[in-house]
Amino acid sequence: MSKEPFSFSAALSRISRPDENPDDDVLEVGESMELDGSSETALVPKRVRNPDATRQKLLDAAFGEIRRAGFGGASISNILEQSGCTKGALYHHFSGKAKLVNAVIEECLPGYVDDVWLSDLEGADDILPVLMGQVDRLGGENAPDMLAGGCPLARLASGAGELDENLRKRIDGVYRYWRRGLASHIGKAQFNKTVRTDIEPSAVAEFIIASLHGFLTRPPALRNLETQDSFAREFARYLNNLRP
């Protein structure tokens, strides 16, 4: 049975065009083809789709841009440049800026709360030194990188007036998540008798978060060593008053 002769144009038609595959991130050496009936093969580049990786790149870049500039100042161009993705890929995953911000709120901000504020408290019999350590590190070399421009949750909340009602509710939901988590750890500390039992855990959690929020929303230039020391002293005084 005779074989059709090798056609270069036909081979090219088998390579996906970038605008047809907005999630393509990597070019790999792919399929082989026989050349003119011989046993030799030609390796043809084949695009490999990785939509999850593309979406995560966009989310990470958007999270960083919102931390830097807030919602109103966040630039789609900067997000594309930082992610290395195309505009087509962005609008393939998110229909607009509001949808992208919504995904950042739901998928990035709870992770920020866990990583920076709640995970340190896991398994601690006495949470007060841990809470004090979190404040102390804000003015040191071990300060979390993501707090260099202030609290990302606070930055987003400060622009809540520009968001629709659903997005504002989602931001409030992240605060509630943080408050519930912290209140739960305070309740466990009461059980361990390292925190007074006559205080309301949710009220204390609300005050601690509000204090941190207020300090971290100050411009970086106003969060110098002097203001950091003042805040840390008063924060320590408050925590000491929680002792039984």
Please report, for the chain, the start and end positions of each structural domain, with discontinuous segments joined by +.
15-50, 108-240
Between 73 and 207, the more confident residue is: 207
Give the pLDDT band of residue 20 (cuts 50, 70, 90): very low
Rounded average pLDDT over 38-53: 57
Which among 58-72, 106-120, 134-148, 209-223 has the top mean pLDDT? 106-120
Give the pLDDT band of residue 49 (cuts 50, 70, 90): low
Distance, in Å, from the CA atom of 114 to the CA atom of 96, rounded to the nearest integer, reads 27
Range of lowest pLDDT (12-16, 84-88, 142-146, 148-152): 12-16
User: Of 240, 222, 64, whose CA–CA distance to 156 is shortest?
Assistant: 64
Interior angle at CA 63, CA 60 and CA 69, nearest 5: 140
CATH superfamily of 108-240: Tetracycline Repressor, domain 2 (1.10.357.10)
Rounded average pLDDT over 198-207: 97
Q: How many CB atoms lie within 10 A of CB 136?
A: 16
Rounded average pLDDT over 124-151: 84
Between 115 and 147, the more confident residue is: 115
- Percentage with pLDDT > 70 across the chain: 76
* Tens-place pLDDT, residues 7-18: 434 443 443 444
Give the pLDDT band of residue 203 (cuts 50, 70, 90): very high
Please give the sequence-ordered ranges of beta strands (E in DSSP) within the chain, or none if there are none: 24-34, 41-49
Give the per-residue pLDDT at 131: 97
Residue 154 in contact with residue 87, Cβ under 8 Å?
no
Interior angle at CA 233, CA 217 and CA 126, nearest 5: 95
Which among 82-86, 98-102, 162-166, 185-189 has the top mean pLDDT? 185-189
Give the per-residue pLDDT at 189: 96
